[in-house]
Chain A
């Protein structure tokens, strides 16, 4: 009897020991599991935990827009298109709306591109409004909850504020019809009008095949200390400086342009991805909006992201412990960036690199086609599943109306 109790204690001790956070896996790169409060949430499987119903909208809301401009498939806002494709063929999709937990409205609001490739958001509010009117009149589910169990993908600069200029976006605020819906967006900044509580922040789209094809052998020594390629001054839109990136990028340039540790310039080299794999730190400063695809690229290539954007909310912040992976620098501390980065102890840097090497971390940042387990699509579904079950307040009493359908600028009320 005593022997059995000792054996049991021994087994229990072993189990607890094996769940301690850092352990070496048997592959070549010892990676660390991202654990703690977030746990192994990245590897959760959403299948079976929720059901999503995809509205069948007329193709003028999605397919025709894409046909008009197929560039939308490759730019950083392509998540909305791939999300629809993923959901249409995913096991979480249900054709019976009565059993659905979440409803998805596939409307491509970020596909009206200028000749340069930048999306124009001027028609997006009308498009969104018209889509919502359509589903409200053809299905009863919108009116049941006034959209509280619906989700939309709005990957534009400032999310559902539908403007590229921050002040105008703040002025417009989130589209009134989307006030109760869950928004899946790339924009995230704390205490900002355009980030609704309960939104799911996703990374911007970065082409997975292109990045995979530029991988270099892992034993190539990392010899660049800090790497950045991009604009410091946006001469076209902000000639005096100080407006673009709140002056942070310009500060980086002015303080570190002759520093040999900082490999920063405005060039567009063909070896951009390879260079990132040879760098220890990659700067991810804000631009006109706080988010950028550089974060995704840094995570994929194992370069520690240095995030210079005050109060930014990073993708899947409830699942990924960004504090432990990246370095956060306040915009006011940019002139002391070299002091900050060189005073990080080497053990911390090595730990961050181990966390970045975790394949589930890299997978969570990507939108691969076809979808793979643990990728960004699944993280979005995990986020949606974590919000279940819906509260009672979601369902409206019959006749109750919370949304004001005529609020907002007059131009938005025109039909699309």
Chain B
């Protein structure tokens, strides 16, 4: 340890020249002169080495070379935390504060000035148990935040979705289903199906794990948009009657199956007292891209000087004091004469004047019995079968000005309306499950094999055994010509169940090469 003390002394002498040397050094420290000479020698050696090497050769290296203890600066024995198992190298003595000459010496600070080792534990990587605990802490903190700044007593969300079996049903229902599965509140999903209850829809919504009420509606979904909207309205009212019968308590919202909802929507509707209105983003796009761009150009041209471009929004509009003054309605004028009439047309589909999905109700409004503090501006007996045509949700209230605007007074768009349907003659496998074995169609002329089916089996076997096939394949398949022919061999009509086997063959060919 003698070297350590000398090292210390020289270190201090080098760094701090203006203070007195500390009175209490190591007791093994003998005389001054031989050690200082020795130190000068070491210093000169280091300088010489630095000159040769071209960079600063640290004295530390010499210290470590001669040290008998731990050899590496960065290794520590892994002991428990309590032991402080990390070894501290270069333990420099604490500096005594000798400024007060008459008082007793101050307590030795455990903090030392100078160079310290960088402590690294032997396996400096995340510990999975701790990561798990941290995530639990995070979720606990977030839960607390939610309870403090979010909704105090969350109400059940009652979702009404009219649907019917068609090609795009799986596409649309999957979107709605996933959104509803993420809602952090209690949920009841009422699915009304046109054409009666089917197993297909039932099995689909059973996958959600949500509480569902699957209702059938006896009419089939018609083929024009006009009639479809009317039937959907009837289906929704049917669902509302069920809410009334079962006396479900919560907030009723309408999730049409082709709409897209954001998660903040469900947080926002919790604040509804009786009737609330939201801004719905209307995405009325036709399948024809040129038409759309010309439409937009027309819009821009007209409104360049005069008005602002119209927003594709439907919802409440407020004045500066956040009071409801009117309604934004989607401007269907630019699309006039170019809208779709039939469900599968390529042209743009227009929304109704007031979409049901932009409104939310407190379910107590619908109950038959007189509920305490039910407001007077809501019509009574609205769901009775009295033949009255209800085409817009606003006809359920006598006084539309009492509707509460949601989403910072309609400025936040929390859901989007879109209507996309497949062609009327499109076929899809029931339940999107292909049960029958794939049929192999006749291969196109460019394939080298004269007889398709037997060669296919052989090729598959060969792929399994991972043996290279006869030389026919490489010679024929090489070259850009075959590559481009591969592209052309894509089947033109891809209809339903029959998968073309040329695609399968090309994959097999690739593996053989």
* A residues adjacent to B (C-beta < 8 A): 28-30, 166-168, 170-173, 189-193, 217-219, 221-223, 225, 240-243, 246-247, 250-251, 254-256, 258-261, 280, 310-311, 331-336, 338-344, 346, 349-350, 353, 409
Contact = CB atoms under 8 A, between A and B. Distances in A.
Contacts of B124: 254-256, 335
Contacts of B137: 225, 280, 342, 344, 346, 349
A247 B118 contact: yes
A334 B121 CA distance: 9
B133 A343 contact: yes
A258 B127 CA distance: 11
Contacts of A339: 81, 127, 130
Contacts of A192: 109, 111
B66 interface: no
A191 B108 contact: yes
B97 A193 contact: yes
Interface of B: 15-16, 18-19, 58, 60, 74, 76, 81, 84, 86, 88, 95, 97, 99, 106-111, 113-121, 124-127, 130-131, 133-134, 136-138, 140-142, 144-146, 148-150
Contact of A342 (B60, B84, B134): B134
B121 A336 contact: yes
A221 B149 CA distance: 10
A191 B18 contact: no
A241 B117 CA distance: 8
A10 B4 CA distance: 72
Contacts of B120: 251, 254-255, 335
A311 B15 CA distance: 24
13 contacts: A166-B113, A167-B19, A222-B142, A225-B138, A247-B117, A247-B118, A255-B120, A258-B126, A260-B126, A332-B84, A340-B81, A344-B137, A349-B140
Given A258-B125, A409-B18, A250 B88 contact: no
B395 to A, nearest CB: 36
Contact of A251 (B95, B110, B119, B133): B119
A341 B88 contact: no
B118 A171 contact: no
Contacts of A350: 140-141, 144
Give chain B's interface secondary structure class: loop
B145 A219 contact: yes
A241 B118 contact: yes
B109 A251 contact: no
Contacts of A349: 137, 140-141
B127 to A, nearest CB: 7
Contacts, number: 149
B133 A254 contact: no
A280 B84 CA distance: 26
B18 A171 contact: yes
Contact of B127 (A167, A243, A338): A338
B118 A221 contact: no
A223 B142 contact: yes
A327 to B, nearest CB: 13
A346 to B, nearest CB: 4
Contacts of B126: 258-261, 338
A335 B76 CA distance: 10
Nearest to A220: B145
A340 B137 CA distance: 13
A78 B97 CA distance: 30
Contact of B115 (A218, A223, A243, A331): A243
Nearest to A310: B111
A219 B150 contact: yes
Contacts of B107: 191
10 closest residue pairs by CB, A with B: A219-B149, A171-B19, A191-B109, A335-B121, A247-B116, A342-B133, A221-B142, A255-B124, A247-B118, A259-B126
Nearest to A343: B133
B138 A223 contact: yes
A281 to B, nearest CB: 10
B19 A221 contact: no
A402 to B, nearest CB: 12
A29 B148 contact: yes
Given A222-B145, A243-B114, A332 B86 contact: yes
Contacts of B18: 168, 171-172, 409
A304 to B, nearest CB: 10
A193 B146 CA distance: 48
Given A240-B115, A247-B116, A255-B121, 17 more contacts: A166-B113, A167-B114, A190-B109, A193-B97, A217-B149, A221-B145, A223-B138, A243-B116, A251-B120, A254-B120, A331-B116, A333-B81, A335-B86, A339-B127, A341-B134, A342-B133, A350-B140
Contact of B110 (A250, A259, A310): A310
Contacts of B136: 346
Contacts of A241: 118
A218 B138 contact: no
Given A225-B137, A280-B137, A342-B130, A242 B148 contact: no
A199 B512 CA distance: 83
Contacts of A341: 134
A409 B18 CA distance: 9
A255 B136 CA distance: 22
Nearest to A193: B97
B111 A353 contact: no
A170 B95 contact: yes
Given A261-B134, A280-B138, A219 B119 contact: no
Given A170-B19, A336-B121, A353 B127 contact: no
- The residue among B107, B111, B125, B145 with the most chain A CB atoms within 10 A of its own CB is B111
Contacts of A255: 119-121, 124
Contact of A260 (B97, B117, B119, B131): B131
Contacts of A171: 16, 18-19
A231 B125 CA distance: 21
Given A339-B130, A346-B137, A242 B116 contact: yes
Contacts of A242: 115-118
B146 A167 contact: no
B385 to A, nearest CB: 44
Contacts of A167: 15-16, 19, 113-114
